[in-house]
């Protein structure tokens, strides 16, 4: 009974959500596209010809926007789930935290890339501090992977949750990058603890 109530509340919330409705109009697979669009509008990240790695890409709305904004650029999308193809992109199905998946990504990179972005998050437990710590670990893993692959003037973008590991992640970002900002898009739900860390200029 409780599960049905939660599910009904979720459906009602989705119906009222302007970003869910807009994503259908614009052809994006999920409302999360608008978070990346807002990040791009604020930090001026995407332009033609960029090479982009999208970690935790499914269902693919970030990849859709990146490919559209980068025009003739190169896109590599990775997720543990199988995704519907997106344009002329490379898609890798695998667990990013496993070394073999990271090695497979590197096979497709001839030179360093312009953007590494991650919208990875763990399946939430409802215990906010645990969710924050576990998603924080994914962010740190993506950052550690990205720092050696990003061009000097490139960007690293990742979801983070406010909580136990927040300060640690920001400090780690400052260790690897000269510019580190934290931003919460308007399209991020008010009751969500998520923000995004945007890092630029590798040290």
Question: Rounded to an integer, what distance in angstroms lies between the CA atom of residue 134 and that of residue 29?
Answer: 25
* CA angle at 154 for the pair 182 and 94, rounded to the nearest 5°: 85
> E strands along the chain, which residues?
51-55, 74-79, 90-93, 113-118, 150-161, 177-183, 194-202
Q: In the beta sheet, which residues pair with residue 200? A: 155, 179
Give the closest residue to 105 by CA, choosing from 131, 125, 63, 75: 75
Concatenated DSSP letters of 27-52: T-SSTTHHHHHHHHHHH----TT-EE
Contact 149, 114 (CB under 8 A): no
- Of 35, 74, 147, 159, the catalytic one is 159
What Rg do the C-alpha atoms of the chain give, in angstroms?
17
Q: Answer yes or no: 159 catalytic.
A: yes
Contacts of 151 (CB under 8 A, 6+ apart): 112, 113, 114, 202
The catalytic site residues sit at: 159
């Amino acid at each position: 009974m409780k599960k049905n109530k939660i599910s009904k509340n979720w459906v009602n919330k989705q119906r009222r959500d302007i970003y869910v409705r807009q994503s259908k109009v614009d052809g994006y697979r999920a409302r999360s596209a608008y978070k990346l669009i807002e990040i791009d509008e604020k930090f001026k990240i995407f332009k033609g010809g960029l090479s982009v790695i999208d970690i935790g890409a499914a269902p693919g709305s970030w990849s859709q926007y990146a490919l559209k904004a980068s025009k003739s650029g190169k896109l590599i999308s990775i997720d543990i789930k199988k995704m519907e193809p997106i344009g002329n992109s490379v898609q890798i199905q695998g667990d990013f935290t496993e070394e073999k998946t990271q090695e497979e990504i590197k096979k497709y990179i001839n030179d360093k890339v312009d953007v590494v972005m991650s919208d990875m998050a763990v399946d939430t437990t409802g215990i906010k501090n645990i969710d924050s710590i576990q998603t924080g670990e994914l962010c740190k893993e993506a950052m550690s992977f990205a720092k050696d692959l990003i061009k000097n003037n490139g960007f690293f973008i990742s979801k983070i949750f406010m909580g136990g590991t927040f300060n640690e992640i920001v400090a780690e970002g400052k260790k690897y990058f000269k510019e580190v900002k934290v931003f919460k898009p308007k399209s991020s739900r008010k009751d969500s603890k998520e923000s995004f860390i945007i890092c630029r200029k590798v040290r």
